[in-house]
A and B are shown apart, each in its own frame.
Chain A
Amino acid sequence: MPNPNALVDGVNSVAPLTESTTAQSTAQGSQYRSVTFQSGRSALLDLAQPRSQVWAEVLEDLRRTNQPVYIEIEPETNLISELLLPIVYRVGEITPTTDGMTVELIISHAIHTLQRSNPDYDELLATLETARDQRTAVIVTETLNEHEIIDVREAPAPFVEADAAPQDIRPEMAPPASVVTMQRARELFALVNARVCCAGNPTAPCIPFTYPDDGCWGRAHEMARLMIGQGVQPEKIWIYGSLNTPTHNHPQCRVLWGWHVAPTLRVNIGGNIQPYVIDPSLFNDPVTTTTWKSVQGDPNASLQPSDADLFHRSKNASWTETDPTYSKTVQVLNTYRNLLKLRSASTVGPPPYETCIPRAPGVQWYGTIAANASHRWFTWGWPAKWHMLWTVMPLTPCPGGPQLSWTVQVERANSTTCTYWITVRNLTAGPVRFEGRYDILSR
């Protein structure tokens, strides 16, 4: 039986609490936001919780875009204790594993699991199997980092996708692919990479490259749109396999995919024309398709090139979709921007994750600092006779303005050692992970 305290619903309003809707003291009313749902139910957000401001923003975005939300409510207080993003999918293959099932959800390139340890395993599996067999849509909610399915429901209107049938309305003749120099390919890479979302505060039209788990088809289509806007016609490359790709941008330092896609450019190097992949979620420069494939952990994976107008392509091309108006692209990007935002506000914080990064010489510590906050760190036992400098460097990309400033103070602990006190200030509206660095100028 589904969690009785869980709700999958549309959002009607997110408003400051004006009257008591629970046993909570109204004297603290300004601390809460009241959230009402399309079913008529309401719940409270406690703004004293740091994550609640982000949850309120996500709820407001879901209300604006008429997307459902999954919440868990504490029955005693009516407070929202969990917020996740359910997504409407079709169900593909369901494959047994040692501890449950892997479930192919369409459209998604992530590996989704249903764990036998889930108390609702049988019921969730039955719902998924029914949706697969009857080709109906379901609303699936999964955990933020492990992609473990925790809730499955039939998708009622208005959340059902308008047309769940395969379609292919591509023009018969796609525009010919452009041939560019490597310098132009790098310029276009920089163009799309400059759209990277600030992880803690991702806002349209940024591209959530630092949420590598899912959504690659939306990122690829948006990158293609940007290149076409520059007068360059790209293509796309699709990879299918049991992909296991290392990344700094997932708390587990890797992502598991069933497929992946990115745009390509035909690059002329000394008269030799070959495709280079533009994929800022994996690389810092254009790379050959061989290099692109080599980091995805499956030597037996298959590559399939296509025109850029293909929005989604199943492994055997039995299911293809286009998005000539980019309306689906906008929705996909919005979904994964919200997931990036939720992850950054969760206990794991914003990407990248320090456990995934080899510590460079001269890095004393890693820190994460909340939006618009200041925090002070101290480090002791340094020889007082050393001449030292302290600096900070954000790890979380957020182009467009300064992110961090810092000041340094020093304490003479005894005749030979000192303690440095470093205050770091986050100048942005989202959390930032950074490294605290030192340099010893003389000893």
Chain B
Amino acid sequence: MRTGIQFVGTLAPGATHRWFTWGWSPASHVVWYMMPTSPRPGAPQIDWDVAVERANATQCTYWITVKNLTNTSLTFEGRFAVLS
């Protein structure tokens, strides 16, 4: 398994934004997860969901929608793991 940080994003309080990352091999099993970089104990800070597009036979694009659940600006890492 290989892990990495694909992007760093910032969201305004309560905001939702979508990122996309292209050129990934459809043959690879890839999962996406987010990690806030600024501590804020007491409640969840971030929520996300993932959608996927088959661009062609050999490439796909992941679309990651991230929501800031807090009332302050949030910076986070967009992380991935290639499972196989």
Is B63 on the interface with A (CB-CB < 8 A)? yes
Interface residues in A360-418 by Cβ distance below 8 A to B read: 360-362, 389, 391-405, 407
Tell whether, in the assembled complex, residue A394 and residue B54 are in contact, meaning their CB atoms are under 8 Å apart.
Answer: yes
Tell whether, in the assembled complex, residue B52 and residue A360 are in contact, meaning their CB atoms are under 8 Å apart.
Answer: no
Is B51 on the interface with A (CB-CB < 8 A)? yes
Residues of A within 8 A of B29 (CB): 362, 389, 391, 437, 439
- Assuming the A-B contacts A389-B83, A391-B29, A439-B83, are A401 and B57 also in contact, with contact meaning beta carbons closer than 8 angstroms in the complex? no
CA separation between A69 and B54, bound complex, in Å? Answer: 32
Interface residues in A167-214 by Cβ distance below 8 A to B read: 193-194, 196
Tell whether, in the assembled complex, residue A194 and residue B53 are in contact, meaning their CB atoms are under 8 Å apart.
Answer: no
Residues of B within 8 A of A391 (CB): 29-31, 52
Tell whether, in the assembled complex, residue B55 and residue A397 are in contact, meaning their CB atoms are under 8 Å apart.
Answer: yes
Is A47 on the interface with B (CB-CB < 8 A)? no
CA separation between A403 and B54, bound complex, in Å? Answer: 7
Is A303 on the interface with B (CB-CB < 8 A)? no
Tell whether, in the assembled complex, residue B55 and residue A392 are in contact, meaning their CB atoms are under 8 Å apart.
Answer: no
Residues of B within 8 A of A193 (CB): 56
Residues of B within 8 A of A346 (CB): none
Tell whether, in the assembled complex, residue A399 and residue B84 are in contact, meaning their CB atoms are under 8 Å apart.
Answer: no
CA separation between A392 and B9, bound complex, in Å? Answer: 25
CA separation between A391 and B29, bound complex, in Å? Answer: 8
Interface residues in B30-84 by Cβ distance below 8 A to A read: 30-31, 49-58, 60-61, 63, 83-84
CA separation between A391 and B60, bound complex, in Å? Answer: 13
Residues of B within 8 A of A402 (CB): 20, 51-53, 61, 63
Residues of B within 8 A of A396 (CB): 54
Interface residues in B1-40 by Cβ distance below 8 A to A read: 20, 26-27, 29-31
CA separation between A196 and B26, bound complex, in Å? Answer: 17
Tell whether, in the assembled complex, residue A194 and residue B56 are in contact, meaning their CB atoms are under 8 Å apart.
Answer: yes
Tell whether, in the assembled complex, residue A427 and residue B58 are in contact, meaning their CB atoms are under 8 Å apart.
Answer: no
- Assuming the A-B contacts A360-B27, A439-B29, are A393 and B52 also in contact, with contact meaning beta carbons closer than 8 angstroms in the complex? yes
CA separation between A81 and B54, bound complex, in Å? Answer: 33
Is A284 on the interface with B (CB-CB < 8 A)? yes
CA separation between A234 and B54, bound complex, in Å? Answer: 28
Tell whether, in the assembled complex, residue A394 and residue B56 are in contact, meaning their CB atoms are under 8 Å apart.
Answer: no
- Assuming the A-B contacts A389-B83, A437-B29, are A403 and B58 also in contact, with contact meaning beta carbons closer than 8 angstroms in the complex? no
Tell whether, in the assembled complex, residue B58 and residue A284 are in contact, meaning their CB atoms are under 8 Å apart.
Answer: yes
Report B61 CB to chain A, min CB distance, Å: 8
Tell whether, in the assembled complex, residue A399 and residue B55 are in contact, meaning their CB atoms are under 8 Å apart.
Answer: yes
The one of A360, A362, A393, A441 in contact with B54, judged by C-beta atoms closer than 8 angstroms, is A393
Tell whether, in the assembled complex, residue B56 and residue A400 are in contact, meaning their CB atoms are under 8 Å apart.
Answer: no
CA separation between A441 and B81, bound complex, in Å? Answer: 11
- Assuming the A-B contacts A361-B84, A439-B83, are A403 and B52 also in contact, with contact meaning beta carbons closer than 8 angstroms in the complex? yes
CA separation between A73 and B53, bound complex, in Å? Answer: 38
CA separation between A402 and B20, bound complex, in Å? Answer: 9
Residues of A within 8 A of B53 (CB): 394, 398-403
Interface residues in A5-59 by Cβ distance below 8 A to B read: none
The one of B56, B60, B61, B84 in contact with A284, judged by C-beta atoms closer than 8 angstroms, is B56
Residues of A within 8 A of B55 (CB): 194, 397, 399
Residues of A within 8 A of B52 (CB): 391-394, 402-405
Residues of A within 8 A of B30 (CB): 391
Report A83 CB to chain B, min CB distance, Å: 28
Report B3 CB to chain A, min CB distance, Å: 12
Tell whether, in the assembled complex, residue B56 and residue A196 are in contact, meaning their CB atoms are under 8 Å apart.
Answer: yes
**Centre residue among A284, A393, A401, A441 by max chain B CB count within 10 A:** A393
Report A327 CB to chain B, min CB distance, Å: 28
Tell whether, in the assembled complex, residue A403 and residue B51 are in contact, meaning their CB atoms are under 8 Å apart.
Answer: yes
CB-nearest residue of chain A relative to B83?
A439
Report A433 CB to chain B, min CB distance, Å: 10
Report A358 CB to chain B, min CB distance, Å: 12
* Apart from A393-B54, A401-B63, A439-B29: 19 A-B pairs, beta carbons within 8 A: A193-B56, A280-B56, A362-B29, A389-B29, A389-B31, A391-B29, A391-B31, A393-B26, A394-B60, A395-B54, A397-B55, A398-B53, A401-B53, A402-B52, A404-B51, A405-B49, A439-B31, A439-B83, A441-B83
Question: Which are the 9 A-B pairs with shortest beta-carbon distances?
Answer: A402-B51, A394-B54, A402-B63, A405-B51, A439-B83, A399-B55, A397-B54, A284-B58, A403-B53
What residues of chain B have their CB less than 8 Å away from a CB belonging to chain A?
Answer: 20, 26-27, 29-31, 49-58, 60-61, 63, 83-84
What residues of chain A have their CB less than 8 Å away from a CB belonging to chain B?
Answer: 193-194, 196, 280, 284, 360-362, 389, 391-405, 407, 427, 437, 439, 441
Q: Can you name 18 A-B residue pairings with CB atoms under 8 Å?
A: A194-B55, A194-B56, A284-B56, A360-B27, A391-B30, A391-B31, A391-B52, A392-B52, A393-B54, A396-B54, A397-B56, A399-B53, A399-B55, A402-B51, A402-B61, A404-B52, A407-B49, A441-B83
